[in-house]
Structure 1
Amino acid sequence: MIYDYLIIGGGISGVSMARLLQLSGVESICLLEAGSEAGGLCRTRRIGPHVLDTGGGHFLCTKFPEVQNFIFRHLPRTEFNVFQRVSRIVIDGCEVDFPLESNLWQLPSSLCAEYLISVVQNGEARGLPPPDHFESWIRWKLGDLIAERYMLPYNRKIWGVPASEMDIDWLHKIPRIDVRRIVEACLNREFGREYMPSHAEFYYPASGGFQQVFDAIAKPVDKFVLTDCPVTTIERENPGGVLCVNGRFRARTIINTAPWPTLIRSPIFNEEARQAIGRLRHTQLVVSLHEDAYETDTHWLYEPDEQLPRHRSFFIHNFAPRSAANGIFRETNLQRWQAGQGEIHAEINPFAYPVPSRGWAASVMTVLNHLRPFGVHGLGRWGQWQYFNADVCIWEAMHLADELGHPQWRAGMQSQSSPILSV
């Protein structure tokens, strides 16, 4: 049998792609998942009375109306709670609301003055050209003090690489700093939520964890999924264009959502593509569950202090009220992880974040440009090697469906007068 489409990887990118193809009328699909169950980084576990998203923090907040509509057509809006985001940064012994630069007024007066002087002297405000070095760029954007006490240590913790090895081409989404508004916020001692740069509001499933979103999208395409099928090789079977995976599965088109390093031995790669894959870097993440009483209304906390192994803490009950009131999960780069710190469960994610190291974009394009003429496409966080959240993964799948000549998913969505599936 020759499938029209073979999808590698059963995370949110893979199942969304399968669902979009299905809504477009395609039925010749095979999705191969390496693990015993699909879900990828969107899996949730019930650990005693706690709900734990084992791939780290996931929340539904998107600027793409089509993505929101797609999700709500599978899991109705009524199955979600909606929250006004409360996230904070621990800095100089204080907890300050995100974004830090707009809430400096929450610091003691002397500290506030120090930070404010630093921010208003940033290179962007002075009209200086942006640097091409990560550390210099952060200083140019936010000033030296925020760079030294927050952004640089936090990024060292999350990525696990020196600033000198990181690129800046992924930083364009950081909005321009409005110095006047920052000064006004300090003078008025308030910051309007309407100026929150992104994700001021988010949805989270009313029961269970974020996997509820994944499961709702995945259920209609379950018949296409084969689990316990790790892919190790892709090759061209003949000059006619038929592709073969693991010497067993044949397809006309392959969509890969798995990390490229897991496929590096594939005969389909030339030496240039293999070398490009070898230059790609990623982080491994430990998500650990802890029990500790808390009264804060914070949803999650950024922790740049390099004396602490973790970089973020999530207060589960504050966004999953059916979970126990004392549950906290923490994200820690595996390089910094220290077991035996009171965790009641720890989950290691071998592939968590693609690192935007110098030259990453050129390396990814080398791989994708080599494969595209053969009918092999990369999709999602790993296929495109970018730190995409779940909503962007779905958005990219929509674009790829259109590119492959299957825009009918829109009509398939519109033909549904009610949500496709409720779980």
Structure 2
Amino acid sequence: MISKPNEHIILLGGGVAGLATGLELARRGRQVTVIEKGPVAGGLAQTFEYETSAGVFRFDIGGHRFHSHKPEIIGWVKDLMGADLLHVPRISRIYLSNDGKAGGKFVDYPLQFPGALSIFSPGQAARILSSYAAATVRNRLDGSAPDVSFEDWVVRRFGRALYEVYFEPYTEKVWGISCQELSADWAAQRISLPSLSEAVKRAISPGAAPPATIISHFWYPRLGFGMIPDRMKSEIERLGGQVILGAGVTNVVPQEDGGFIVTVDDGVGQHQLNADRVISSIPMNFLLASLPADSGSRAVAENFKLRYRDIILIYLAIKASQVSSDSWTYFP
């Protein structure tokens, strides 16, 4: 986007994407207004406080961490947060059992072999290894067959037995759809180890470097992930911009001169704001519904209903300095 000095730019949505964009524009001398429907900045990246008899606890909206393979992005956030951004070692485990029920144990996550095989009976471990060997033979006989689905990608590299006992139930529980409907491209991005043979090779080779997709450390703000959007908001305001909270966008009307009139509802009344440009990070169906009816956008919005996974978060306040050494623990 090419914008001119003194342009007024309205950003719809005050999550991390909207705030980061607004901050970059404010640093370049643009007049910035960020409109956020929620009562606080950050969206799902916010941190909230909860007071109990044991003291005040801070909770993120789900588990968050910050990491990037792009040094310039890490540098951007480090410059923003200063000493409040901590470099934390990643320690994560997953609870697995050999029958999907009780009696399992915690193993490193992502799975580390051959240790992960210890949770299975000797017969199951042998089945996993023989299944992998069979998959390897099939790959050599028909290596040109494309990986279309998540299932294709995993079975080819780990064998069907390990896919059925681990990858399939965990993935379908999280995403709520068949692994045959998930893309193989997604599997390649999300699974840290390229194959079972590579996993074993790394386990028995001293000093073997971990795959690039496995991170040993991550960045986390001292008082919760919400410190990042809070700091962005403060910086925007320090540079003369506005962050309006508790205001939902009802209409975005393009003007003949190329500008826009944005109508927001703050619960008290509706207000109109003029903008030279509008940048949106709100859900697409909400944006489409806010555009003029004669543009046809609302009809498009009715058909733009993506499937999504709802989530219930349960928070426990425990009076202890530390409950576990794990950064997070998975229960598939």
TM range (shorter): 0.7 to 0.9
1:278 to 2:304 alignment: yes
- Residues 40-65 of structure 1: CA deviation (Å, up to 9, x unaligned): 111112223432102x1111222111
User: What residue in structure 2 maps to residue 297 of structure 1?
Assistant: 325
Distance in 2, Cα, partners of 1:273 & 1:117: 54
Aligned residue for 1:34? 37
Partner deviation per Cα, 1:358-400 (whole Å, 9 max, x = no partner): xxxxxxxxxxxxxxxxxxxxxxxxxxxxxxxxxxxxxxxxxxx
Letter in 1 for 2:253: E
**Mapping of residues 406-417 of structure 1, within 5 Å:** none
Alpha-carbon shift at residue 179 of structure 1 (Å): 4.5
| Shift, 1:164, TM fit | 4.5
1:12 corresponds in structure 2 to: 16
Report deviation, 1:72.
1.1
> For residue 258 of structure 1, what is the aligned residue in structure 2?
282
In the other structure, the counterpart of 1:115 is 128
Contact residue 16 and residue 217 of structure 1 kept, 8 A:
yes
Task: Give the structure 2 partner of residue 103 of structure 1.
Answer: 113
Residues 362-373 of structure 1 aligned to structure 2 (within 5 Å): none
Shift of 1:219: 0.8
Query: Could you say what secondary structure the match of 1:286 adopts?
Result: coil
SS at match of 1:129: coil
Q: Runs (4+) of structure 1 moved beyond 6 Å? A: none
Map of 1:337-352 to 2, 5 A cutoff? none
SS of equivalent residue, structure 1 residue 289: coil
Q: Given the two structures, how large is their TM-score scaled by the length of structure 1?
A: 0.61
Check if 1:221 corresponds to 2:233: no
1:69 aligns with 2:82: no
The gaps in structure 1 that reach 5 residues or longer are 305-423
1:69: how far off? Answer: 0.9
Q: CA deviation at 1:155?
A: 2.4
Instruction: Tell me the CA shift for residue 276 of structure 1.
Output: 8.3
Distance 1:66 1:204, change over 3 A: same
| Pair 1:89-2:94 in alignment | yes
1:70/1:170 CA distance change after superposition, 3 Å:
same
Q: Which residue of 1 aligns with 2:194?
A: 177
Instruction: Please report how far the alpha carbon of residue 3 of structure 1 lies from its aligned counterpart in structure 2 after TM superposition.
Output: 5.5
Cα contact 1:32–1:230 (8 A) shared by 2: yes
Q: Tell me if the contact between 2:249 and 2:262 (Cα under 8 Å) persists in the aligned partners.
A: yes
**Matching of residues 282-361 of structure 1 within 5 Å:** 282-291=308-317, 296-304=324-332
Aligned-partner residue type, residue 248 of structure 2: P
1:51 to 28, 46, 58: 58
Distance 1:135 1:273 in 2: 36
Determine whether 1:202 maps to 2:212.
Answer: no
Q: Describe the SS at the equivalent of 2:304.
A: helix
Partner SS for 2:312: strand
Q: Quick one: which amino acid aligns to residue 227 of structure 1? A: L
Residues 235 and 145 of structure 1, relative CA distance in 2, 3 Å threshold: farther
CA shift for structure 1 position 137 = 3.5
Contact 1:104 1:112 in 2 (8 A): no
CA RMSD of superposed structures (Å):
3.2
User: AA paired with 1:205?
Assistant: P
Q: Distance in 2 between matches of 1:157 and 1:65?
A: 34
Partner Cα distance (2:313, 2:206) in 1: 34
Residue identity in the other structure for 1:182: A
The Cα of 1:282 is off from its aligned counterpart by 2.2
Q: Does the CA contact (< 8 Å) of 1:105 and 1:190 recur in 2?
A: no
TM-score by length of 2: 0.76
> Post-superposition shift, 1:258?
1.0
Paired letter, 1:287 = L
Q: Residue 233 of structure 1 aligns to a residue in which SS?
A: strand
Q: What's the counterpart of residue 227 of structure 2?
A: 212
In 2: Cα distance, 1:255 partner to 1:152 partner = 39
The count of aligned residue pairs is 296
The answer on whether the counterparts of 1:42 and 1:211 sit within 8 Å (CA) in structure 2 is yes
The structure-2 alpha-carbon separation of the partners of 1:295 and 1:245, relative to structure 1 and needing over 3 Å to count, comes to closer
